[in-house]
Amino acid sequence: MGDVTYEPVIGLEIHVQLRTRTKMFCGCELSFGEPPNTRTCPVCLGLPGTLPVVNAEAVHYGLMIGMALGCEPAPRSIFHRKNYFYPDLPKGYQVSQYDIPLAREGRLGDVRIHRVHLEEDAAKLVHVGASGRIHSAEASDVDFNRGGTPLVEIVTEPDLRSAADASEWLRLLRATLRRLGVSDVNMDEGSLRCDANVSLRPRGEATLGTKAELKNMNSFRFLERGVEAEIARQEQILRDGGRVEQETLHYDVRSGTLSSLRSKEEAHDYRYLPEPDLVPVAPTEQMLARARDAIPELPAARAERLGRELELPSKQAQLLAFRTEVGDFYEQAVAAGGDGADPRALANWVTGELLARLGDGQEPGDSAITPESFAKLVAMVGAKDVAQSAAKDVLATLVTDGGDPAEIVASAGLGRTGEGELAAIVDRAMADQADAVEKVRAGNDKAIGAIMGAVMRETKGRADGGEVQRLIRERI
Amino acid sequence: MSEATGFEAVFGDRGDTDDARPVDHTAAELIDHVRAGRLSAAEIWDDYQRLAGADTLNAYLWRADEAPEVAANAPLAGVPLAVKDLFCTEGVPSAAASKILEGYRPPYTATAVERLREAGAPMLGKTNMDEFAMGSSNENSAFGPVKNPWDESRVPGGSSGGSAAAVAAGLAPWAIGTDTGGSIRQPAALCGIVGLKPTYGTVSRYGMIAFASSLDQAGPLTRDVTDAALLLRHMVGRDPCDSTSTGHPEEIALPSAERLDGVRFGVPPELTGDGLEPGVREVFEATLKRIEELGGSVQEVGLPHSGHAISAYYVIAPAEASANLARFDGVRYGHRAGNGDLLSLYEQTREEGFGPEVKRRIMLGTYALSSGYYDAYYGRAQKVRTTIAADFRSAFESVDVIVTPTSPTVAFALGERVDDPLAMYLSDVLTVPMSLAGIPAISIPGGLSDGLPVGIQLASPAFSENRLLDAAHALERAIDFKGARSRG
């Protein structure tokens, strides 16, 4: 038993809040932190006699997502009622899709997509009391502002094999959805939510083990940690000769522990019923074409293209493709630079120095730098008109104040040291560092550093390191 | 003219003693009187307000006290309307005759009621009904049963029993109700008036407290076929708030036919065999003779699966109801009970708020939808429904109208069937097939059996209301039934 190794099998269920103007089945505008229960109407409050009407924009976004994930849209998908009692569910059922979803059978990266369907979000419970948690609450208030927000649920096939893979794939999905512009995809704010189904099986075996479902992991880090914890828990059970029970689990981030929300026996019987208040969603050719036309180049395709056309390493291409605004800035800089700036050099400068200067969550557009000034600077480095180290200072100025890199270089005296001037400085430095010169001659190559250091000090970093070294070696 | 003048005086001045009181007229006649300046909307309102106020049948649950504003040229001229309590009406109690919604006043008005108000039929009051429209006798109301004006020891039928009794007793010029499996037609039959269930989808369901969404349909209860056409004309229409609403492809015309020449009537043996009371059979057979006298032809036509209609109906309707009634949980509106714990809130609220028949149907529906039973019950019932609809389509290839009695019996005694749900369910055996097929069907009075009205049901293909109303109109003239108010 002891030498068996286990393979984790992971599938994800992702809920995406759509960024439509109005709710899924009524005309209320979506809520972004308005006072409780101010974005409601008889329909989203589930008042007696009210009826849902499907939001066409939500269907459009749903079709875009389905197509972007390579799914086949259903000619006629239908809504079902998913019945259960909870105070955040005003009708006593959630209108969702069941056996005929909006789209199915697609792929994103290495992961197959099982289905994509539309549904409505529940309201929000606010637990009144010291802890803000349900168990110790004195009372619970319901804020129906969120109730009825359009959701797309994306279900993958169990194609992921590690927590890290799951998290990385979710990043790709998030980048894809962001590029589509259909959602804020903000995990902190709940516009992107992820559940994970995890099971283990002896490596090499084809049949799936019993799965457990981890609910609501609201960051990439928690997803990774939660899945790792669950893999470890199941492995321990199996190694102890036990059996994994099918259940729904909550991962507590603070304690790093998993607790059971409900067992298989306690699982809801949702008594799915075709929603008699709605007609099937039957996308016309026009609707399909409109959705297709609205899909821009997606991150996976962009990464592939950047790698192929501009010969960028795949990690770098992925970074540029997954951060849409950064990728756009980069490509604009490539275009602006013409033959002067090497695309690979531009990529290095963007993913290295520029992102470091921008700081967390900042996009190039948030700063004063333009693709044109950036491209010019990198071209100047390439032409050795400005030294690498001096160029970093110029970049910092461009980010904070903007301007023309050539002018900044000129006015700050950062221009590359002229050849005659540099030769004189080198001569002086070699005279000052006679010891070092002797050591180099004796075969201690490292001693050249002392001479170079003196030159760089003298030129205040304006000299090109390679050029300095060449001049020193000539003289030795 | 607007002060409370006696009607005798008003008409006496004109020397028109035959047309002494608004209550002696159909709504269409009242509209003519208003147009001709012989009567004002205010006079009609005042008279009916007085009559509704003197309701001894328990037909009304709420009555308007103020005369509403009605536009001078409104097509329905201010003839007031009784509205089943199932319709939501802004600021006015709308409880579906259930304790769980007692005192609930919605913030909006149902589309059908709003359209009629705009057309000039203001709401006179809200009428009693079986709780959530579940029943065939009006005995399931949380606010007590309605009495049949023909014999107060008998039921008016249900679920639109209050609307039917009010119109039959002259407590309202006309009324609207809802029909899920016969809830307009059966009480209309038992009270001796006209009741029409339109094609599913032609009238918006927005604001109708849902019982079985795929079957519920609003329609008129009136003194005669012309009034039914007039009300229906202003009820139909596509509603952006109801995705299943279709509107009507043609304007509803006022029926004018006096003959039935060339009209082919089909009698389904499955719905006209055993089980009909002898008195009902007699009136039905006399009606068939009349059809032939008017130039129509009568032939047998098969509806081979209609015998399964009741079984399918009592799976589909409760299944939808079990979901539709889940929202009555005590959290947001209506009755609330329990000790503060969530489960007890749900259990106590629903235990206290729902009556026994509603609970029975929620249980039936919940069971039918349960995991592992869905295919055997709900799935199969839907297949039966499809087959029944196909039966009607093929029947309508050889006939224009299907004719049956509306109810196998006349009005039964209060209390007679309350302990026998199955017997009660069979009250709708002749009306449920048309509901499942979604087609229009009308009940008109065919005559009396032992002094109690017998209803005749005519049904026709979807969206053929104009043809149906014409046939009903010709037959109605020939039958010349004397309504409840004219008995003595």
| Per-residue pLDDT tens over the stretch B182-225 | 999 999 999 999 999 999 999 999 999 999 999 999 999 999 99
Check residue B14 and give its pLDDT: 35
Same domain membership, residue B430 and residue B369: no
If 0-12 CB within 10 Å is exposed, 13-18 middle and 19+ buried, where does residue A314 land?
exposed
Same domain membership, residue B410 and residue B318: no
Same domain membership, residue B151 and residue B269: yes
Q: Does B240 reach chain A within 8 Å, measured CB to CB?
A: yes
B58 falls within a domain? yes
For the question of whether the overall pTM of this predicted structure is more than 0.90, the answer is: no
Q: Does B89 reach chain A within 8 Å, measured CB to CB?
A: no
Q: Does B326 reach chain A within 8 Å, measured CB to CB?
A: yes
**Nearest CB partner across the interface for B243, out of A50, A273, A278:** A278
Chain A residue numbers touching B205 (CB-CB < 8 A): 51
Reference B192, options B134, B226, B149; nearest CA is B149
Q: List phi, psi (to 5°) of A371.
A: -55, -35
Residue that the structure tokens 């700063």 belong to: A367
CA distance A267 to chain B (A): 11
Check residue A131 and give its pLDDT: 63
Same domain membership, residue B313 and residue B259: no
Same domain membership, residue B292 and residue B325: no
Q: Average pLDDT of B74-80?
A: 96
| Residues in chain A, pLDDT under 50 | 1
B371 falls within a domain? yes
- pLDDT category at B9 given cuts 50, 70, 90 is very low
Check residue A369 and give its pLDDT: 92
Closest chain A residue to the Cα of B318, Cα to Cα? A273
Same domain membership, residue B340 and residue B297: no
Q: Does B367 reach chain A within 8 Å, measured CB to CB?
A: no
Number of domains in chain B: 2
CA distance B353 to chain A (A): 15
Q: Does B378 reach chain A within 8 Å, measured CB to CB?
A: yes
Range of the domain at B474: 7-304+388-486
Check residue A130 and give its pLDDT: 60
3-state secondary structure of A29: strand
Top-confidence range, A51-60, A130-139, B6-15, B69-78? A51-60
Question: Cα separations (Å) of B99 from A98, B4, B102, B163, B183?
Answer: 34, 36, 5, 19, 20
B325 falls within a domain? yes
Check residue B325 and give its pLDDT: 98
CATH code at position B227:
3.90.1300.10
How many A×B Cβ pairs under 8 Å?
A: 101
Q: Average pLDDT of B332-337?
A: 91
Same domain membership, residue B398 and residue B418: yes
Rounded Cα distance, B230 and B121, in Å:
11
B1 falls within a domain? no
Check residue A416 and give its pLDDT: 65
CA distance B434 to chain A (A): 18
Q: Average pLDDT of B342-363?
A: 95
B216 falls within a domain? yes
Same domain membership, residue B96 and residue B111: yes
Same domain membership, residue B287 and residue B220: yes
Domain boundaries, chain A: 6-293, 299-411, 419-475
Q: By a Cβ cutoff of 8 Å, what residues of chain A touch chain B? A: 42, 45-54, 81, 83, 85, 87, 90-93, 142, 269, 271-273, 276-279
Same domain membership, residue B422 and residue B277: yes
Which of B382, B403, B425 corresponds to the end of one domain? B382
Closest chain B residue to the Cα of A138, Cα to Cα? B340
Share above pLDDT 90 across residues of chain B, in percent, rounded to a whole number: 86
> pLDDT averaged over chain B?
93
H or E element that contains B126: strand B123-127
Q: Average pLDDT of B84-90?
A: 98
- pLDDT category at B414 given cuts 50, 70, 90 is very high
Chain A residue numbers touching B212 (CB-CB < 8 A): 276
Rounded Cα distance, B354 and B350, in Å:
6
B218-235: b (≥16 Cβ within 10 Å) or e? bbbbbbbbbbbbbbbbbb
CATH number for the domain formed by residue range(s) A419-475: 1.10.10
- The answer to whether the Cβ–Cβ distance between B244 and A52 falls below 8 Å is no
| Per-residue pLDDT tens over the stretch B241-284 | 999 999 999 999 999 999 999 999 999 999 998 889 999 999 99
Check residue B10 and give its pLDDT: 28
B169: left (phi over 0), alpha (psi -120 to 50) or beta: alpha
Check residue A381 and give its pLDDT: 87
Please, which residues have CB within 8 angstroms of residue B417's CB and are 6 or more apart in sequence? B137, B423, B424, B427
Check residue A277 and give its pLDDT: 98
Same domain membership, residue B293 and residue B324: no
Check residue A471 and give its pLDDT: 82
**Nearest CB partner across the interface for A48, out of B88, B244, B346:** B88
Which of B364, B382, B400 corresponds to the end of one domain? B382
Closest chain A residue to the Cα of B365, Cα to Cα? A271
Same domain membership, residue B432 and residue B299: yes
- The answer to whether the Cβ–Cβ distance between A48 and B369 falls below 8 Å is no
Check residue A271 and give its pLDDT: 95
Which of B325, B356, B382 corresponds to the end of one domain? B382
